[in-house]
Amino acid sequence: MSQLSIVVTCTDRKATAPAAELRVRELPAGQVDGRVAEWCRRIGSASDPRPLEQLYKGDHWVRAQRLPSVAAQVGFTADLWVASAGLGLQPVSAFAPAYGATFTPRHEDSVGHSFEERSVWWRLLQRERGAVTLTELANRGPVLLVLSEVYAAAMQNDLEALSSMKAEALLIGGARDLPHLPRVPADASLRSALGGTLTSLNARMAAWWLEHCSDSRLTAPETWDKLNKWVSEVSKEERYQRTPMTDQNVIAFIREGLAQNPSYSRTRLLRMLRDQGLACEQKRFAELYATVENR
């Protein structure tokens, strides 16, 4: 059987509440390197660690933990790995305490205020605590990455290194396309067909992909053909009750998005905003986008 490494995004929901000192919001202000060092010291000295498989909760995590068994049904021997803003890249069997750390912008426990800060945090955290790198996983066999947009953006340098290997790998979700890393973007129009919540959409898309893999090959052309046919049959646009935003918040969102990926179009950014349950009328968004572009 082919060895497959499955890398999934962690979740903010934990089995127990983190101690105050294990929330990023409680770190002292300062440069990223100092904050990472202090964070690693706190994580390393914390009591009551538990296996990651028991630490996280929620629909996304339930679905993520099922992926290895789905992979086994089509001929893979799969290991599950967790990409965590608080722990780096870890096997699901690793032990850690409950903690509060995320790459999500504007969250109280976000590890950085900008794309650059979050990328540096990930690089330094991986150096201090990461159990393995993506390129090391690729040397073992195919790699299936199931990553949210903000986590993939923070891990961009690692994804580029994986892409440069031209190894067999697939990204479900993610933030941007890379030359030698095929990607299946998150598609909210598939939620009704896949079931569950939007938070578990990427994990459910990954399960669908694995179920339709051909001859234990992760990126077989036949699987792409099946996906395209299926999407054309079941895709259904959904309408949501979205939260209105001030002009200042919309502008901040646009700037953050363009800092994360300068190639994002206005249409792409508006869709990202709406996928997060936020509201902005199309004409107003276009005017605010032009304001940002002209500065």
The per-residue DSSP string of 208-268 comes to HHHHT-BTTBTT-HHHHHHHHHHHHHH-------PEE--HHHHHHHHHHHHHH-TT--HHH
| pLDDT at site 83 | 98
What are residue 214's phi and psi, to 5 degrees?
-105, 130
Residue type for position 292: V
1 pLDDT higher than 70? no
Three-class DSSP category at 54: helix
**What is the dihedral angle through the alpha carbons of 201, 206, 209, 211, rounded to the nearest 10 degrees?**
-100
Q: Tens of pLDDT along 10-48? A: 999 999 999 999 999 999 999 999 999 999 999 999 998
pLDDT of 214: 76
User: In 3D, which of 226, 228, 221, 218 has the Cα closest to residue 185?
Assistant: 228
Q: At what angle do helices 32-45 and 115-129 cross, to 10 degrees?
A: 40
Confidence check: pLDDT of 209 > 70 = yes
Helix (H, G, I), strand (E, B) or coil at 103: coil
Residue 46 near residue 19, CB atoms below 8 Å: yes
Q: State pLDDT tens for residues 233-279.
A: 998 876 656 788 899 999 999 988 888 777 788 888 888 888 777 88
Predicted TM-score (pTM) of the model is 0.83
